[in-house]
Structure 1
Amino acid sequence: MTIIRTPDPAEATGAWAEGYAGDLRELGYVPSHTRVMAVNPQAQRAFEDLTGAIAQSIGLRLYELVTLAAAGALRSQACRLAHGRKSRTVFDDAQLERIALDYHAAGLSELEVTAMELAERISRDSTALTEQDTQRLRDLGLTDRQIVDVVLAAAARNYFSRALHALAVPPDVPPDLPDSLREALLTGM
């Protein structure tokens, strides 16, 4: 359990109330990570602006795949569960379960699999990457901007997941996440 003190949603004021309001509307509850990150709302907004700018060029589908792969490599239960839920807007539950358990056998495109492999490698040892790793994305049709954004998506997930780990933020299980999908997201890490 995190040592960071945060108000309950009903008691929140100022920046906390603003941070909580969106999650209450969208999710019906305020996740632990929102509570902790509301301590520095400027940093949270900057992170949201960054991820929004990244997803613009690569699209939500590829952004979420890269995010799921990076979160899995980092063993971030919080991010796998949260982005598993978000990914339900671009994948049906059956395919998302297959992606979570083995994305190589989930009917994804070669580009999507390559981007997920790169995200895992970035998350495990970014110093081992070479230009051939990103050249592969170019060979599969990505522009320079899109290559940068795939890498930034993985790196951003590293930033956020590692911050949650370091602050001992407990993962939340979204209440609308089916049990089989939750298990796949956590097993496939």
Structure 2
Amino acid sequence: MALHSDPQIATRALIPDVEDFPADIQEKIAEVTEKSGFTPNVFRAIAARPEEWRAFMMMHDSLMDRQTPGLSKADREMIVVATSAQNDCLYCVIAHGAIARIRSKNPRIADQLAIDWRKAELDERMQVVIDVAVKLAVRPAEVTDADQQRLRDAGLSDEDVADVGAIVSFFAMSNRLAHWGGLQPNHEFYAMGREPRAKA
């Protein structure tokens, strides 16, 4: 497998050539690239370790691609943006900020969450969700049963409560992998979701 550095993707990671990826990873990357119009850098940055790539993507998709009455796909992305900002993760704030703008149909929300989530355009339920999520991200030893109960009182099911914890925890790992590898956001992410799509 040919490995090289690509500063447009990551400054400290070794990046495989696409043709060297296992077939299942090539297929998944092609699917995402066709849908979005570009290949998110995270897909290539961790592909030098295929087993970890598969586990990472399976966990990601399990948490982020489902929608429940208590947590929409947009809500899940907002949790990622707010907590990744607390972890100073440029890649996750920019990439998931783009998805949050699109899924929430709010071009301002990602910037608000990244700078000061307390002033973000959130309803009372999501104010509670983000408050608890940020606490877990930055002061995990201080989390108590009362924090989980606040989520239930805000309308989340036990499954939703488990999802909040899992999303924050998974992206804490993701944030650190991005820092470790010097992962850079694709330039395309910066503009996504900022202007309404032109009608065909």
Q: TM-score, normalised by structure 2?
A: 0.76
Indicate yes or no: 2:86 matched with 1:73: yes
Instruction: Provide the C-alpha distance between the structure 2 equivalents of 1:163 and 1:33, rounded to a whole number of angstroms.
Output: 10
Deviations 1:118-139 (A, max 9, x none): 2222221211211111111011
Q: Post-superposition shift, 1:13?
A: 4.5
Q: How many residues align?
A: 178
1:51 paired to 2:60: yes
Aligned to 1:187: none
Alpha-carbon offset, residue 12 of structure 1:
4.3
User: Which residues of 2 match residues 1-189 of structure 1 at below 5 A?
Assistant: 1-7=11-17, 9=18, 11-15=19-23, 17-55=26-64, 56=66, 57=68, 58-91=71-104, 92-166=106-180, 168-175=181-188, 177-178=190-191
Runs (5+) with no aligned partner, structure 1? 182-189
Of 114-123 and 151-160, the range deviating more from structure 2: 114-123
Identify if the C-alpha distance between structure 1 residues 31 and 96 changes in structure 2 by more than 3 Å, giving closer, same or farther: closer
Do the aligned partners of 1:73 and 1:124 also contact (CA within 8 Å) in 2? yes
| Contact 2:109–2:120 under 8 Å retained in 1 | yes
Report the CA distance between 1:141 and its aligned residue. 1.4
Which structure exhibits the higher relative contact order, with contacts defined as CA atoms closer than 8 Å and separated by 6 or more residues?
A: 1
Q: Which residue number corresponds to residue 5 of structure 2?
A: none
Q: Comparing both structures, which one devotes a greater share of its residues to helix?
A: 1
The CA deviation at 1:71 is: 0.7
Quote the Cα distance in structure 1 between the aligned partners of 2:92 and 2:29: 18
Seen in structure 2, the aligned counterparts of structure 1 residues 177 and 63 have a Cα distance that, compared at 3 Å, is same
Structure 2 spans left out of the alignment, 5+ residues: 1-10, 195-200
Measured on the aligned residues, the alpha-carbon RMSD in Å equals 2.5
Change in 2 beyond 3 A, CA 1:13/1:159: closer
CA-CA distance at 1:68 after TM superposition: 0.8
Native 8 Å contact 2:101 2:108 kept in 1: no
TM superposition score normalised by structure 1: 0.80
Q: Distance in 1 between matches of 2:110 and 2:13?
A: 34
3-state secondary structure, aligned to 1:89: helix
Percent of matched pairs sharing the same residue = 22
Tell me which amino acid in the other structure corresponds to 1:14.
Answer: P
C-alpha contact (below 8 Å) 2:100/2:110 kept by paired residues: yes
